[in-house]
Structure 1
Amino acid sequence: MKKFFSLTLTLAAMLSAMAVSAQAADYSFETDGTPEYYPSSSYEDVYGSRYNYGGKNVVDYQIPELEYGQLSTTQTGVMEKIMLHGLQGISASGSGIYGISPGGGTVEIPGFLQGGSTSTPAMPAFTELTQDFLLSNGAVGKISIPAIGVKNYYLWEGETTASMKKGLGHFTSTSVWNGNVAVCGHNRGAKYVIGSIKDLDVGDKITYTTSMGTRTYLVETVTKISSSDWSYLSSTTDNRMTLLTCVAGDSSQRWCVQAVQAS
């Protein structure tokens, strides 16, 4: 009897151990991969293109559209240009939203004119310098300013001493034909000087000849600017020429002339 009882206890212990082992085998621990807490904020990664400094970028067009008849949460009326009928434009308080005045049902959208015609805002003009654009001698073009005796000074690429030793220098960041063509030259003490641009009058002529043809510009501005002011080199929607030279005895200043195309 004792032997039987002992055998029973042993068998029960074995079965218990097997049950625990089998139960333990059923457990499974799974975890997700490391979460991406810090996704890339690189412009190239986010939008799939390089950032275009000074021009249009993908992000400029990421503007959420409003569904027809829905209210905007921001007042953007200052951006609108044409009236669109039927948009829900009055808030519960009676104030105008999304550029709509109380009692009105219209909104203006940029780039459009009244009457159904469209008007796209003018973009800055720019002509990039290529090998084909250069004159046969390698110059960008040639410039004449009859009022101060400048006749056929060649314009060479680069705002450098080497360029101004041969004629005038072209600011490489600016256009060579359409838009703003920016030029620099010595004030005095060299073969090619344009120090007398300070004596130009509004309406004086400047001619510019390139492989694309000849343009005539009329002086619009004659002014003295800081040597650190580069705003006059910015791209423009019209065709103009900007001339810069030093101010005698004052390295902190520059003479600046801008002329706008007449023909």
Structure 2
Amino acid sequence: MKKKLTMLLLALCMMASTMATAYAAEPLEYTIDGTGDPEYGKATSIKVVHTPGGGAMKNEDVSKNAALAPPTFGSASADTLHTGTPLTPNLAPGYQPTSGAIINGSAGVIQPPAMGGSMGTDSGSGSVYVPGSSSVTVTNPGSASGGYTAVTDDLYYSGGHLGTLKIPAIGLSVKIYQGTDSAALKKGAGHFEDTSIWDGNVALAAHNRGVNNHFGEIHTLEVGDTISLTTRLGTRTYEVTSVSKVSETDRSALAASTTNMITLYTCVRDQRDQRWCVQGVEIS
């Protein structure tokens, strides 16, 4: 009996072993699901790139020359786009004031009042003190005897400029171009068209900031510093006699003079109604 039981158990073990081997030889079957949609996190910051006019203003001046100061807070146009007053009205094309300034010959020279005269009258003559010299007679450009030299074609260099201005104290050497509009000031210093280019009062202007900030340091000049002007007519050296801050509409320093002198104008940083005015008289 015991022998039969042993044989039965042995047979069962062999059967189980055979079945296990058979199942082990079968290939493993399984299914893998494909990946779903990407689960990206939502952006928490977006940097917007602003392009003037959506890229449609590539050839339009968007510099400070065409910038507008915002209207008065609370005014009717305070929330209206493209309104305000020009930041640099004496340099921005299309925004020339109708009076009180000289811009590319757009207005006559407003002379200082003669003794006993009234301010703002274009009297054509008067008495004004020029730093470093005695009292002189002021007349309209072109009428002063020996005090005015007009720009003529033969005075231009081949590069289109009228001359070169040098100020050693601030390390400046810049070419001079006719006019004080954006095109001229982009290339160098600009010459006020209603002023002389050699004899008398030579008046120039340039930017005080940005890439072309040629006059950015003229307000640091001191009395006694020298300025040299070279044109086709020769070279003159001037000595600085005054550095002052004046109103943007004060153009009395542009008046013609029988004394050979030079006048430099530029904007005042963050004070759009003011201008730096540097003057000097000839010493050699």
TM-score of the aligned structures, taking structure 2 as reference length? 0.49
Following TM superposition, by how much is the alpha carbon of 1:124 offset from its aligned partner in structure 2, in angstroms?
A: 6.4
In the alignment, structure 1 residue 228 sits paired with structure 2 residue 241: no
Residue in 1 aligned with 2:169? 147
- Indicate the structure whose relative CO is greater, using CA pairs within 8 Å and at least 6 residues apart: 2
Q: Do 2:238 and 2:282's aligned partners in 1 also have CA atoms closer than 8 Å?
A: yes
Letter in 1 for 2:191: H
- Aligned equivalents of 2:251, 2:190: Cα separation in 1: 16
Following TM superposition, by how much is the alpha carbon of 1:136 offset from its aligned partner in structure 2, in angstroms?
A: 2.1
- Aligned equivalents of 2:192, 2:212: Cα separation in 1: 20
In the alignment, structure 1 residue 218 sits paired with structure 2 residue 218: no
- Aligned equivalents of 1:209, 1:150: Cα separation in 2: 13
Moved >4 Å (runs of 4+)? none
Structure with greater helix percent: 1
Alignment match of 1:209 (pick from 220, 223, 230): 230
Residue in 1 aligned with 2:194? 173
For residues 6-40 of structure 1, give each alpha carbon's deviation from its aligned partner in whole angstroms, at most 9, with x where no partner exists: xxxxxxxxxxxxxxxxxxxxxxxxxxxxxxxxxxx
In the alignment, structure 1 residue 253 sits paired with structure 2 residue 274: yes
Question: Which sits farther off after the overlay, 122-131 or 160-169?
Answer: 122-131
- Aligned equivalents of 2:223, 2:146: Cα separation in 1: 24
In the alignment, structure 1 residue 129 sits paired with structure 2 residue 151: yes
- Aligned equivalents of 2:274, 2:219: Cα separation in 1: 12
- Aligned equivalents of 2:213, 2:189: Cα separation in 1: 7
Following TM superposition, by how much is the alpha carbon of 1:235 offset from its aligned partner in structure 2, in angstroms?
A: 0.1
Q: Do 1:198 and 1:255's aligned partners in 2 also have CA atoms closer than 8 Å?
A: yes
Gaps of 5+ in 2: 1-107, 110-143
State the SS of the aligned residue for 1:195: coil
- Aligned equivalents of 1:159, 1:203: Cα separation in 2: 27
Gaps of 5+ in 1: 1-52, 55-121
Residue in 2 aligned with 1:186? 207
Letter in 2 for 1:142: T
Q: Do 1:158 and 1:169's aligned partners in 2 also have CA atoms closer than 8 Å?
A: yes
Alignment match of 2:160 (pick from 138, 149, 157): 138
Identity of aligned residues (%): 47
Following TM superposition, by how much is the alpha carbon of 1:249 offset from its aligned partner in structure 2, in angstroms?
A: 0.2
Across the aligned residues of Structure 1 and Structure 2, the Cα RMSD in angstroms comes to 1.5
For residues 202-244 of structure 1, give each alpha carbon's deviation from its aligned partner in whole angstroms, at most 9, with x where no partner exists: 0101010010111100001100000000000000111111000
| Max Rg structure | 2
- Aligned equivalents of 1:243, 1:123: Cα separation in 2: 23
Following TM superposition, by how much is the alpha carbon of 1:135 offset from its aligned partner in structure 2, in angstroms?
A: 1.6
How many residues get paired? 143
